Structure 1
């Protein structure tokens, strides 16, 4: 593989802090494996020989331990826990390790996407940035412990302008967030309409946080430190620059008088324009001639393309609702595990008079007493499930204790929580180390540090 793989695992899980307060986001269990297992596994299966993981110093050793069973060579780069790094900041931090074009993926991506389909777009069109899009998850019920949105409330939409190609990939023409629109009107430059008279405007697609990025873009962001966010700052800028006129610069002209060269510098004369970082040599030109880069303007080598993955599920487990969805996804035996591998760990103890459905997972050293039934649920390691317990559509993290006669439905029970006997809990979130006293009845409640109901996000 000619690409370098980079996994972004320094996020703090700001939309799921009731879970990440006790377990760092990359290590949150999804199907009894750390979340970061899934993107790294996908990279390994795609043929990558090595991967760079960017994470926080405090969990660097834990990430390295998690990676020990992979055959892929892993370099874990730690950043200060006090830093406020976004994706672009992280790329600057590892710029000396980046030697080629990059495949950048978030640690919360869980999918069966064949990565070569995204790589094909990058190769076919010599794309500067290739992004992965997928249909947004249909609005359903709120996740455990979350308030249902009031009528009329909705997430801000993102409008993506696309031009399909004959190869089933899409040229990305613009990106607009609903919050940035003036008077609820979408304004498109006339010159863009002249070049692309038929533009698809989509508002039901989500950015999957998987990108292929040219190496020269790292040189640009290393020089220009004004942007931190890849998604909200750098990517829209690059999309826009596709349609700017590129004034070629003769070698040595920047050293003589950079301010006199039109189009070479941004508004700040100390910041080189993005075009000055594009690699142009004989080898690059030969490769470019072999691609379908005719879709780009002759005077502008920058291009952005997208691949829309609609053939299977894709989850970004970046909030509690999507975290639940991710666990349900990987609990399907055919999704992640070989058919001969049991979803019930051999070291667990399931009483002969108890039942666990084929759509459930039970982790190491977990015990389940008699007359208990587990359906469509993921049970973590070292849990103790009492007798006559009913668990349906739930996630129980490690070392959870559930007393006799409990009925749990549609809930997330964080690590080390204790549910005493005869409790009835539905659609609720129980935080780490919390105790639910005997015979409690909870319905769509959140028992966490804040002791408040969470908004659906």
Structure 2
């Protein structure tokens, strides 16, 4: 089976504010010693997929990825960068990549450029082949910091609804569809007796897709813009639509797929299939015809696997940065790309550490960073080329490249953007300091986002 890798490194920039710059798209932000997108490429490489298309938004972002691949990428994938439209969503991005895909590839391994996981791609591919699927999705338990907001009497906020029967994927619905999902009637549920609907699973946005069928769907449905919200749910619904006698097979099913979502009955029909109406039966329904198209499958990550998406600054970037530096059970130091020191941290040999300064376990410090005397760094990630003055305390922080933290400052639970300056004696707790912002000396800031007004 020939597999083509596709990395979708586009979208989500607004959630990162001014941390994203012209020279550094979101997926190029550092996570430990490497850009976020490096982890997606590692997943493909370890799965034996070396031929990869990396899709970026716009020509400028594409040029930045190309520069990194030439100058900083030392992995084993052969990566070709594809520029999609400046406003492309994930389905748009895959549509842009299709003309460059190897024509011999039967299957696409499509992965979000912000996914960090140690789940083996080969296991997801095996589930796909075993199930004879048109699409297979990687699902995982949510990290503790990425839970769903639950309130009594209200639908879970931010939930993604996933219906499973063993490894068969029977329902995919977003938060916007929650009213329809809650209206599913009991007689309809009886048609799939072992269906379990989950709200505690993360759609990791790693999809194994049948190339020919997905290409046909993307060509026939130009209004589909998102893989997660449009394409995958459409494939899930389609598997319950019985084909008429003499049908030409799954390829024709894609071309003739029409779904009504204007009523509750339409949703029932799409998810659970339609019972055939028979004349002379008093309007009763017979046993629904079994689906004849290829099924959709789900690969559920093992409980001890690591799986997270870096799709927000807080909590995702902050928490994943710390977890890939930590050797604690359930964390992901093994994904950092470097060997942990005997002090259970990762410190580049070029780092200068002043007298009586300590860098504790679970820390990452990148090349060219300098610490003054009597600094204390705990469970934090410090980027390349930073200057940290004397007497500074960093706890549970991410400090990005070339930031400056002056003498006596205390920073806790915060993200400090590239080239930002934290003035002497300042105290920050649970803040986001965006790129090039300067915090005044002695400022005491709590739970704020600090950005330059001119930006």
How many angstroms apart in 1 are the aligned matches of 2:450 and 2:160? Answer: 33
CA 303–192 in structure 1, closer or farther in 2 if over 3 Å, else same? farther
How many angstroms apart in 2 are the aligned matches of 1:188 and 1:396? Answer: 51
What is the aligned residue count? 403
Q: Does the 8 Å contact 2:27/2:37 carry over to 1?
A: yes
Cα offset for 1:139?
5.2
Deviation sequence 1:92-117 (CA, Å, 0-9, x none): 22222223210000010011111111
Cα offset for 1:429?
1.0
Aligned to 1:65: 67
Structure 1 residues 410-419 or 29-38, which shifts more? 29-38
CA 345–382 in structure 1, closer or farther in 2 if over 3 Å, else same? same
Does the residue aligned with 1:422 lie in a helix, a strand or coil?
A: coil
Q: Does the 8 Å contact 1:130/1:307 carry over to 2?
A: yes
After TM superposition, the structure 1 = structure 2 runs for residues 136-215 of structure 1, keeping only pairs within 5 Å, are 136-138=142-144, 155-164=157-166, 170-182=167-179, 185-187=182-184, 190=187, 193-194=190-191, 196-215=192-211
Aligned to 2:395: 392
Q: Does the 8 Å contact 1:241/1:302 carry over to 2?
A: no
CA 120–266 in structure 1, closer or farther in 2 if over 3 Å, else same? closer
How many angstroms apart in 1 are the aligned matches of 2:254 and 2:40? Answer: 39
CA 93–179 in structure 1, closer or farther in 2 if over 3 Å, else same? closer
Aligned to 1:278: none
Deviation sequence 1:16-58 (CA, Å, 0-9, x none): 2242256311111111321111111221122222211001311
TM-score by length of 2: 0.81
Is the aligned partner of 1:128 residue 2:134? Answer: yes
Aligned to 2:218: 221
After TM superposition, the structure 1 = structure 2 runs for residues 46-65 of structure 1, keeping only pairs within 5 Å, are 46-56=47-57, 57-65=59-67
1:302 to 294, 300, 310: 294
Aligned-residue Cα RMSD (Å) equals 3.1
TM-score by length of 1: 0.81
Aligned to 2:310: 317
Greater RCO, 1 or 2 (C-alpha within 8 Å, sep 6+):
1
Aligned to 2:3: 3
Q: Does the 8 Å contact 2:147/2:200 carry over to 1?
A: no
Is the aligned partner of 1:29 residue 2:30? Answer: yes
Aligned to 2:241: 244
Is the aligned partner of 1:77 residue 2:82? Answer: yes
CA 248–214 in structure 1, closer or farther in 2 if over 3 Å, else same? farther
CA 182–334 in structure 1, closer or farther in 2 if over 3 Å, else same? closer
Aligned to 2:264: none
Structure 1 residues 329-338 or 429-438, which shifts more? 329-338
After TM superposition, the structure 1 = structure 2 runs for residues 237-316 of structure 1, keeping only pairs within 5 Å, are 237-247=234-244, 265-266=256-257, 300-309=292-301, 310-316=303-309
Cα offset for 1:149?
11
Does the residue aligned with 1:439 lie in a helix, a strand or coil?
A: coil
CA 158–45 in structure 1, closer or farther in 2 if over 3 Å, else same? closer
Cα offset for 1:403?
0.8
Q: Does the 8 Å contact 1:345/1:364 carry over to 2?
A: yes
Does the residue aligned with 1:16 lie in a helix, a strand or coil?
A: helix
Structure 1 residues 333-342 or 347-356, which shifts more? 333-342
How many angstroms apart in 2 are the aligned matches of 1:263 and 1:103? Answer: 20
How many angstroms apart in 2 are the aligned matches of 1:263 and 1:109? Answer: 29
How many angstroms apart in 1 are the aligned matches of 2:237 and 2:146? Answer: 34
How many angstroms apart in 2 are the aligned matches of 1:420 and 1:230? Answer: 44
Q: Gaps spanning 5+ residues in structure 2: where?
A: 260-288, 327-332
How many angstroms apart in 2 are the aligned matches of 1:51 and 1:16? Answer: 26
Q: Gaps spanning 5+ residues in structure 1: where?
A: 143-147, 165-169, 255-260, 269-296, 452-457
